[in-house]
Amino acid sequence: MLKEFRDFILRGNVLDLAVAVIIGGAFGKIVDSLVTDILMPPLGLLLGRVDFSNLFIDLSGEGYPSLAAAQQAGAPTLNYGLFINNVINFLIIAAAIFFVIRLFNRLRAAPTPGAEAEPTTKECPHCYSVISIKATRCPFCTSELNH
């Protein structure tokens, strides 16, 4: 059983997945910092000095001055500012993944310059059916084919 587990862990796709999860976690932290520390302060300034991370609705009705004060008091809150930050995080990560996958698909689909694929089929001159290029007789009309 230990050997099977070792073989499972050492498969290429499991290692690739582990690396992707680790890099994804690090990338998520970078994007979170980008949104929280770089994008939201100027956006909040443009919208009238609004701190998105401090936008909340106090469900207890006590009127706390900040989200931290409400959370410290244990008051129930709807933290829509944090939700906005998380939506922006998601959109940035989704856009980055989209562009990486798009680039990967373009690189994978790009043909190698100067490497044209050899044809594997030809058309029968008598019945115009598509047949193997190696055929000496058409399987559809049974005509003999010239090489």
pLDDT in tens, 97-140: 888 888 888 887 766 666 677 888 999 999 999 999 999 999 99
Report the relative pairing of strands 77-78 and 57-58 from DSSP bridges. antiparallel
The H or E element that residue 103 is part of is: helix 80-109
Q: Which residue has the higher pLDDT, 8 or 142?
A: 142
Rounded to two decimals, what is the model's pTM?
A: 0.55
Nearest by Cα to 86 from 50, 38, 52: 52
Other C-beta atoms closer than 10 Å to the C-beta of 75 total 17
Domains, the chain, in order of start with CATH, read: 2-110 (1.10.1200.120), 117-147 (no CATH)
pLDDT tens profile 55-101 = 899 998 888 888 889 999 999 999 998 898 888 888 888 888 888 88
Measured CA distances, 31 to 54, 85, 117 (Å): 19, 11, 43
pLDDT for the residue numbered 42? 87
